[in-house]
Amino acid sequence: MTWYRWDKQDLLVNLLVQPKASQNKFVKLQHDAYKLNITSPPVDGKANEHLINFIAKEFGVKKANVQIVSGMHSRRKLVRIQNPRLLALPVQLPK
């Protein structure tokens, strides 16, 4: 499986999240996931909340349009972005 796929107008992305980083940024592709640094610590769901906020901002959608499909308690996450307006990662548009 590739690190992303389209499900109609939704983008599904495999992420490898590094919490407690110095800045929020997409780092690089690592095998089947895109590495992402976020500044929030992994305590009481704060990192997941921070991740959703960052992804929503980068892809130009509301927070409600970003869902963690799997990996709520893991660094590896599958994230669904509903109808992204911006493409913050190097992905091809659906056909």
Question: Domain of 50?
Answer: 4-82
**Residues 72/48, Cβ–Cβ less than 8 Å:** yes
In the three-class reduction of DSSP (H, G, I as helix; E, B as strand; rest coil), residue 86 is classed as coil
Identity (one letter) of the amino acid at 71? G
Higher pLDDT pick, 74 / 87: 74
Domain count, the chain: 1
Average pLDDT, the chain: 90
The average pLDDT across 53-77 equals 96
The average pLDDT across 64-88 equals 94
What are 4-21's pLDDT values in tens digits? 899 999 999 999 999 999
Instruction: For residue 15, give the CATH number of its domain.
Output: 3.30.1200.10
Is 24 a residue whose pLDDT tops 70? Answer: yes
